[in-house]
Chains A and B, each alone.
Chain A
């Protein structure tokens, strides 16, 4: 369960990254494709070369959606409802306990490389919990 402190830490951390959504998103996706090649199977229609417009565009989309989630942490289910439908019925990404977990790991790595020591155990814990909560909401409608 996200505590008040967790939410504060997440908002603070997100505030520090201001404006870099596209870069962070693109790097997260690139790392994910590199470290977990099976995740590429969801993007057969993409140009998956480094720095491709599609990776940049999609990365920005993903991180922007996370930003929306962060603004609505008290009501994730409703805030992510459309995305939840999309992932469950259209995209049918492997249940979030698998593939979205790789995205979460790579996002954390990107944040850690940018924030260094500031990516403290408390921040790490809060972000990990948040990403689990997001994955759980996205999985709500799978079956």
Chain B
């Protein structure tokens, strides 16, 4: 079980409280598809992904980004019980979606950069360290049921 200090929980809640889940989710997913174009392979039915502009404006990308980050919010509410919380999602990503868990790490790092661009100076080194830990733990939980 991962241990979270009071300070870490504060840093997570403090940032999360100010995040616009829809905007941030859309931004993070769009950047994943732009910066690591091979990830588009999981979204072949999303329509036009032909350019950064197309991707950023794509309504399916936005909607799915919101879904993904909303789920991330569930993780934050269940920090002490992540593997169980994400058990079904993990099975889904393995058995139905066939996503290489390496992609969870990529998305986590991108989310951090989106937060950094959004919060600028307020995204302090302590903040970043806690959030890197968080995205790592979430990625790990998502990969847990892979077989």
Q: What interface size band does chain B fall in? A: 20 to 34
Given contacts A31-B128, A117-B117, A119-B117, contact A109 B123 (CB under 8 A): yes
A residues near B (Cβ < 8 Å) are 27, 30-31, 34-36, 105-106, 108-110, 112-117, 119, 121-122, 124-125, 128
Chain A at the B interface: SS class: helix
B52 touches A113 (CB 8 A): no
Q: Min CB distance, A120 to chain B, in Å? A: 8
Given contacts A108-B113, A113-B123, A124-B31, contact A35 B132 (CB under 8 A): yes
Chain B at the A interface: SS class: helix
B113 touches A124 (CB 8 A): yes
B13 at the interface (CB under 8 A from A): no
For the complex, give the distance between the alpha carbons of A73 and B97 in Å.
38
3 tightest A-B contacts by CB? A112-B116, A112-B117, A35-B129
Q: Which residues of chain A come closer than 8 Å to B55, judged between CB atoms?
A: 121
B34 touches A113 (CB 8 A): no
Q: Min CB distance, B35 to chain A, in Å? A: 4
For the complex, give the distance between the alpha carbons of A59 and B133 in Å.
23
B30 at the interface (CB under 8 A from A): yes
Q: Which residues of chain B come closer than 8 Å to A128, judged between CB atoms?
A: 35
B46 at the interface (CB under 8 A from A): no
Given contacts A31-B128, A34-B125, contact A121 B52 (CB under 8 A): yes
Partner of B52, one of A34, A110, A122: A122
A121 touches B123 (CB 8 A): no
Given contacts A34-B128, A113-B121, contact A121 B116 (CB under 8 A): no
Residues 110-125 of B, flagged 1 when their CB comes within 8 A of A and 0 if not, give: 1011101111110101
Given contacts A34-B128, A36-B132, contact A121 B35 (CB under 8 A): yes
For the complex, give the distance between the alpha carbons of A115 and B120 in Å.
8
Q: Which residues of chain A come closer than 8 Å to B52, judged between CB atoms?
A: 121-122, 125
B35 touches A114 (CB 8 A): no
Partner of A113, one of B116, B126, B129: B116
